[in-house]
Amino acid sequence: MDWVEKYRPQHLQDVVGNSGAVRQIYEWAQDWSRRKKPLILYGKPGTGKTSSAYALANDMNWEVVELNASDQRTKAALEKVAGSGSTTASLSGASRKLILLDEADNLHGQADRGGAKAIVEIIAAAQQPIILIANDYYSLTRELKAVTEPVQFRALQARSIVPRLRQICAAEGVACDPAALDDIANRAGGDMRAAVNMLYAAAIGKEHLAAGDVHTSAKDERSTIFELVGATFKGKRDADLLRMAVEVEDTPDAVEQWLEGNLDHMPDLASRAKGYACLARADEYIGRTYRRQYYTLWRYASAVMLLGVADAAGGHGVHGRIMPPSRWQKMGASKKQKAVRAGLSRKLSEMTHIPQDALREDFFTAITILVEQDPAKYVREFELDADELNLFIHDKARATKVVKEVAKEEKAKAKKAPAKGKDAGKGKKSRDDDPPADTGESRRDPPPGQATLF
Amino acid sequence: MQMDGNHTIWIEKYRPRRLDEMVGQKDIVVRLQSYVKTGNLPHLLFTGSAGIGKTTAAVALAREFFGDSWQMNFREMNASDERGIDVVRNQIKEFARTSPLAGATFKILFLDEADALTTDAQAALRRTMETYARTCRFILSCNYSSKIIDPIQSRCAIYRFRPLDREAVIEETRRIAAAEGLTVTEGALDAIVYVASGDMRKAINALQGAAILRADIDEKTIYEITATARPEEIDELLDLSIAGRFDEAEQALIELTRVRGIAPNELINQCYRALVQRDIDRTLKVRLIDALGETDFRLSEGASSDIQMEALLARFVLAAERHR
């Protein structure tokens, strides 16, 4: 058995790092009732999501029913397995069944048509605790986010990975140099599973693990892209630069961004301009590569940008720190923005029976004007959340406030008319709409008449 | 299966059966042998360019793990044949979940060109790998590990195969030449190393091609059979262009393409290799490589190679002139 499985934590207290997340899971399970929202554990690979879920089930003596992307996840298939698991009691005497939906962000494939919707439906009908697992929170559908509670898992620190590796070595009877373990922990990039796999690959069959024994590659080669950028600005030999470019295994478009992000290390404006000219030319080759699926062109991109930037820098070197492309951080934000925009566009399109591209091109301005005039009305009408409203009014604070107020009103209304029974109330009773500041300033909007658009 | 010696393809005939027969990749071979010794194997990811031993290593590993029953417990699939999610959900899962045969503790699935799998298929694969880890280990191979999704990389021990060096190519060429009763001159060995540029398959194919013509193999035969220009000829072509002697450069080009029948793409490849190595001013070098890239792109778009190749020389001449 490989070590990742062998040394998977059995109890929540054995999970390394992410103590906040682990506590949140524990508390959720302690007083679990049908009214609680399912958890969605999200974060990078190897940070302990699946392990925590299994450890929890073990601690609670719950049985686990797992579904992942390797199973067909159409609506029917999901209902067959998770549907029954979530409504019928367990036979094996375990107190409950924990439904585990792994890779919840991977439901968009053709073959899983209807899967995302099925999950939401199963959540609504479930009688058993459910945990969803995802890598990318922002790619989840809005509907799914609305009925779940997020728990974030962060990348692990190298210093918290090391003790775990040491434990494993001790259990396997392998003596190891601390330097080797540090090396592994640093190269793992916050991924415990990668670290354990590397340790396994390096240590298996050995009695002593020395510092130089770590031959397998880390999955992440960031450290060498730093070297590549440094060597380019320092003007190392052409053949060396191109060899390094192959070794870092970052695609030329990533290398391009790294170079661009560090062009301000150029000694003067003229050389910076020269550097940009080469990057722009390389960028053309990259575009052509993808457009035509002709990967031979990659080498011209690499050569033109690396040698070109090296030429422009004139061996000047990098003074100061080599920074990762700042665009990447911005991209994280704009990715979210894009997801919000796409979700909104889909929703409006369904409501108005107008195709999405027509909506975007011809109607968005008109809708924006209407929403600006009376945000609360359209928050109700379109069921907007704060992010979506913000797309129209570009004022995050105000958007949050308006949405909160509308939610409060709806709640008050629901209380006044409890006739609908518990089903209607259940969805609303979430933890996050705490009573907001209650100065009765909330604007009295016209009665919920039909807000017309066009 | 075994075909008559004359007709067998040598890359199969001489594919190393055991790990210790492999040339090159010594670090990796040692690690793989220790898996065999302990009877334990994690999932593996082999990355690197073509012809440098990824498939050979996987097959040899399986042979050593399973002995005679290796074919029962080893399956090779090429992901670029079927790239969709269904192949993971059906074929791969089917193989992975049935129990190993003949007393083996697990099976090995070798998935070649795994970077050709769609992202959806890779996502499905990652859990299959974990779920059936008891009965099946995966060896994935790919050219670029950056095309493999992170969660899978996280589940594998990653081995980066490097292009084979000169010594490795020569060693293997000599071994095969001896077994086939060929004599190979030193010049021919150099030529094979040049033609192969780190790819053992190319080296062996060149040797087998040459052996059809004659048993005494010299460099001329190698360049001829592989339709490759000699490095000196490429250097001359570049020298003439950079010196501004367009007419002579044009003659050299015509000799190579029309008389010797060397494909324009091959010429471009060779010029690229020569230019990268060449000791000239960087600004000029970037311009020349750029001209090469532009020509390569235009050819790939279907432009006429005669005109584009001559225009390439003209660009070389102009770039050099402007630079002086």
> Which pLDDT does position A212 carry in this prediction?
64
| Statement to judge: residues A141 and A29 lie in one domain | yes
Strand order in the sheet with B107-112: B74-78, B107-112, B136-142, B44-47, B157-160
> Which pLDDT does position B157 carry in this prediction?
84
Range among A250-259, A391-400, B126-135, B291-300 with highest mean pLDDT value: B291-300
| Statement to judge: residues A141 and A246 lie in one domain | no
Q: Where are the beta strands (DSSP E) in A328-376?
A: none
- Measured CA to CA, the distance from residue A84 to residue A282 in angstroms comes to 55
- Measured CA to CA, the distance from residue A293 to residue A275 in angstroms comes to 26
- Measured CA to CA, the distance from residue B222 to residue A139 in angstroms comes to 55
Average pLDDT over residues B67-93: 78
> Which pLDDT does position A78 carry in this prediction?
58
**At A259, phi and psi to the nearest 5?**
-65, -45
Beta-strand pair A208-209/A175-176: parallel
- The number of residues in chain A equals 454
In a domain, A323, yes or no: no
- Contact assignment for B290 to A281 by CB distance below 8 Å: yes
Task: Closest CB to B146: pick one of A110, A251, A299.
Answer: A251
Q: B8: distance to nearest CA of chain A, Å?
A: 31
pLDDT band per the 50, 70, 90 thresholds, residue B236 = very high
Spatial contact of B253 and B313, defined as CB atoms under 8 Å apart: yes
In a domain, A102, yes or no: yes
| Statement to judge: residues A102 and A186 lie in one domain | no
> Which pLDDT does position A419 carry in this prediction?
53
Q: For chain A, list residues with pLDDT below 50.
A: 90, 108-111, 218-223, 421-454
Among B38, B153, B271, which would you mutate to test the A interface (most chain A Cβ atoms within 10 Å of its Cβ)?
Answer: B153
- Measured CA to CA, the distance from residue B192 to residue A401 in angstroms comes to 73
Q: B59: distance to nearest CA of chain A, Å?
A: 19
pLDDT band per the 50, 70, 90 thresholds, residue B169 = very high
Q: A159: distance to nearest CA of chain B, Å?
A: 19
CA distances from residue B165 to A273, A299, B83, B177, B203 in whole angstroms, order as listed: 39, 20, 33, 18, 12
| Statement to judge: residues A356 and A386 lie in one domain | yes
| Statement to judge: residues A35 and A145 lie in one domain | yes
Residues of B with Cβ-Cβ distance to A300 under 8 angstroms: 289-290, 292-293, 296
Average pLDDT over residues B292-297: 96
Last-in-domain residue among A128, A153, A178: A153
In a domain, A58, yes or no: yes
Range among A33-37, A352-356, B134-138, B246-250 with highest mean pLDDT value: B246-250
Spatial contact of A66 and A39, defined as CB atoms under 8 Å apart: no
| Statement to judge: residues A382 and A288 lie in one domain | no
**pLDDT top residue among A83 and B238:** B238
Strand partners, B142: B47
- Contact assignment for A215 to B290 by CB distance below 8 Å: no
Q: What is the ipTM of this complex?
A: 0.80
- Measured CA to CA, the distance from residue A295 to residue B144 in angstroms comes to 12
Beta-strand pair A130-134/A96-101: parallel
Closest residue in B to A43 (Cα–Cα): B151
Task: Give me the total of CB pairs closer than 8 Å, taking one residue from chain A and one from chain B.
Answer: 161
Question: Which residue type does A284 have?
Answer: E
> Which pLDDT does position A184 carry in this prediction?
84
Total number of domains constituting chain A: 4
Task: Closest CB to B34: pick one of A2, A205, A278.
Answer: A205
In a domain, A267, yes or no: yes
A198 is in which domain, residue-wise? 158-213
- Contact assignment for A251 to B157 by CB distance below 8 Å: no
In a domain, A435, yes or no: no
| Statement to judge: residues A404 and A270 lie in one domain | no
In a domain, A431, yes or no: no
Spatial contact of A2 and A45, defined as CB atoms under 8 Å apart: no
> Which pLDDT does position A448 carry in this prediction?
42
> Which pLDDT does position A114 carry in this prediction?
56
Task: Closest CB to A70: pick one of B131, B133, B286.
Answer: B131
In a domain, A70, yes or no: yes
In a domain, A145, yes or no: yes
- Contact assignment for B154 to A69 by CB distance below 8 Å: no
